[in-house]
Structures are given as structure tokens and as C-alpha cells.
Chains A and B, each alone.
Chain A
Amino acid sequence: MMMLAALLVLIMLIAALAALLLRNAVAAVAAFAVVSLALSVLFVWLRAPDVALTEAAVGGGLSSLILALALRRLGLWRVGGSNE
């Protein structure tokens, strides 16, 4: 159990670093969604299932959707590394 929590925290921190360091903005938004989903699993661990539901739906879904739509308007929506 202890190892699982440590693994989840490690995944969350690495994804948070990746969200700030990745060049591709779409990949950064995906890494932020990973942070949000790992956080919702940790909320279930902390006996807060309602917070976990909200975090997964609002933080992982709606927030990533808003970020992705803003990326399209900012002209940063580039999938695939070959073009620039």
C-alpha cells in the first residue's frame, strides 16, 4: 500500500514537471490531465470519494477541455513532432 502511494505521488510529480517542461503544448495539457487523474486517485485514498469524483470530472475533463480549446485559438495546436 505504501509503495503504491509512493508510486502515485512519483507519477504525479513527474507529470507536473513534464507539463511545465515539454515543448509541445498539447503534450503539456495531456501531462496536466495525468496530474489531475493521479490526484483524484489520491483523494480516494484519503477517504474523500466526492472530492475525487469532482476532481476527475472537473479537473481532468473540463479543465483539460478548456485548455485544449484555448490552444486551438492560440495557434499552438500541433500534433506530431515533425512539423517544427
Chain B
Amino acid sequence: MIPELHVGWVLFAGAIGLIAIGVGGLLMSRDLFRVVLALAITEAGANLLLVLSGYRFDAIAPIVTNEVGGVMVDPVPQAMVLTAIVIGVGVQALALGLVLRIYRAYGSIDVAEVRRRMDDDIAAEAGLPLPSGREKPAVHS
């Protein structure tokens, strides 16, 4: 049963690798669309890690079959992950909606550009000097 244990370690490394790649992408992406993709990749890695937590190498799937006896893998993490996948798609749709709204308001999805213009807008609304030192935008009635 030693090779089966090794399979568990390989999958564990895969889950940790997915989470690491996703978090790295979240930190280093300059494009808001890539940020959404990195969020989805992180979520996939977390799902794999959760299912892996209930895994037993000698167990059968927790569904009704004709097999008699034997232990089942833990069904609770699987039910949780089933919910988390669907919730993840909902979160992703919300994030894409926000990205779309930002694109329509500013015409760009570059993180630095959007942040600079948001700072300018906030400063203009508050009557402060503009942080980026640009001309004041035209006051819309």
C-alpha cells in the first residue's frame, strides 16, 4: 500500500501548488481579468485540498452501490466542496460584473491605472488636491 500513500502525497503537492500559483497570480497580476482567473485557480486548489482531507486509500465512494462491506471515504468534505464549487462560480460572476463595471467607467482594466484614476476621483469629490498631480477633471453638472 506504499504506492497509494505516494499518490496521496502527489495530490497534496498538486493542491498546494495550485493554491501557491493562484495566490502568486493574485499578488502579481496587472490585469483585473487575470486577477479573477487567479481567484478561480486558488479556489480550485482549496477544493482539492478539502476533498483530499477526507480521502482514505482503501475506501470506496460514498454512494449506494452493490458492493458489500468496506469503509467509505468521508462524505462531509465532499458535500461541502460540492457547495463550494457552485458558490465559487457565483463569486466569479460577481467579480466579472465588477470588472465590467470598472471597464465601462474608466475604459481600462489595468490595476495601476484604475487605482490612480479612482484616487483622483475620490480626491476630486472630497475637494482635496489631486494625488497624481494632474489637471482637475471637468466638473459634471
Where chain B touches its partner, the secondary structure class is helix
Q: Measuring CB to CB, which residues of chain B are less than 8 angstroms from any residue of chain A?
A: 3, 6-7, 10-11, 13-14, 17-18, 21-22, 24-25, 29, 33-34, 36-38, 40-41, 44, 47-48, 51-52, 55, 59-63, 73, 78, 81-82, 85-86, 88-89, 92-93, 96, 99-100, 103, 109
Given the interface pairs A46-B11, A46-B55, A70-B99, the reply to whether A13 lies near B17 with Cβ below 8 Å is yes
Q: A42–B106 Cα gap in the complex (Å)?
A: 41
Q: Report yes or no: A70 in contact with B96, Cβ–Cβ below 8 A.
A: yes
Q: Measuring CB to CB, which residues of chain A are less than 8 angstroms from any residue of chain B?
A: 1-2, 5-6, 8-9, 12-13, 16-17, 19-20, 25, 28-29, 32, 35-36, 39, 42-43, 45-51, 54-55, 58-59, 62-63, 66-67, 70-71, 73-74, 76
A20 CB contact (under 8 Å) in B3, B38, B55, B81: B38
Contacts of A16 in B (CB 8 A): 17-18, 21-22, 41
Q: How many A-B residue pairs have CB under 8 A?
A: 124
B87 → chain A closest CB, angstroms = 10
Interchain Cβ contacts under 8 Å between A and B, 29 examples:
A2-B10, A5-B11, A6-B10, A9-B10, A12-B14, A13-B17, A16-B41, A19-B37, A20-B21, A20-B29, A28-B34, A32-B40, A35-B41, A42-B11, A42-B14, A45-B11, A46-B11, A46-B52, A49-B63, A50-B78, A50-B82, A51-B82, A54-B85, A58-B86, A59-B85, A70-B33, A71-B33, A74-B99, A74-B103
Given the interface pairs A20-B25, A66-B89, the reply to whether A50 lies near B63 with Cβ below 8 Å is yes
Q: A48–B92 Cα gap in the complex (Å)?
A: 24
